[in-house]
Chain A
Amino acid sequence: DTAVSQTPKYLVTQMGNDKSIKCEQNLGHDTMYWYKQDSKKFLKIMFSYNNKELIINETVPNRFSPKSPDKAHLNLHINSLELGDSAVYFCASSQGRAESFGPGTRLTVL
């Protein structure tokens, strides 16, 4: 019944590795998003994806790339992980306005 789901919930990895976080929504929403919440709890949008249109927050390094195999999925790939990438990553989806969030993936880079 989970509306927006993410896997894994926790991810611990070494600096320099490449990792992916998966997101799926069963709400039939047209738009999906990735947000990053840092240690200061500030939530910031990274990407929005709507009907194959990708809008990127210009501050996001190109090591981060979203990939959408279909409308219900938006996965996040991160290459060459850095210490500063440690954060909680939230996937979200919406149909116009307010968004529903996934439970978050806590990424720790050692």
Chain B
Amino acid sequence: RKEVEQDPGPFNVPEGATVAFNCTYSNSASQSFFWYRQDCRKEPKLLMSVYSSGNEDGRFTAQLNRASQYISLLIRDSKLSDSATYLCVVIGYSGGGADGLTFGKGTHLIIQP
């Protein structure tokens, strides 16, 4: 089983719609979770951290379900500029140090006018 799994998409969504995607992780000891966004031929950029209680940042809502080992990202009122690849990122801790980020392969989102 892959460490971090995402549906690669693409998700084709009309502008203004709400879209959600999930990501599952295999390491139950994982401690920190993030969503990154990557535009074509650009570097990944942090979109938001994911907290246990769930968190919201404008049109974006992130949720964590530790029991089922998945995180989700919800985008409301989608804009054309939301078109990008969304990367699920997990940090697992082993021993005395961090393992660095483990990335999912990303979900490709296309917002259509």
Contacts and interface: CB of A to CB of B under 8 A. Distances in A.
Interface residues of B, number: 20
Interface of B: 32, 34, 42-46, 49, 85, 87, 91, 97-103, 105-106
Q: How extensive is the interface on chain A, given as a class?
A: 20 to 34
A53 B34 CA distance: 25
A57 B82 CA distance: 33
B100 A98 contact: no
B46 A40 contact: no
A33 B99 CA distance: 11
A51 to B, nearest CB: 10
A6 to B, nearest CB: 9
Interface of A: 31, 33, 40-45, 48, 50, 53, 55, 90, 92, 97-104
Interface centre among B45, B85, B87, B97 (most CB of A within 10 A): B97
Contacts of B101: 33, 45, 92, 99
B42 A103 contact: yes
Contact of B105 (A41, A55, A101, A103): A41
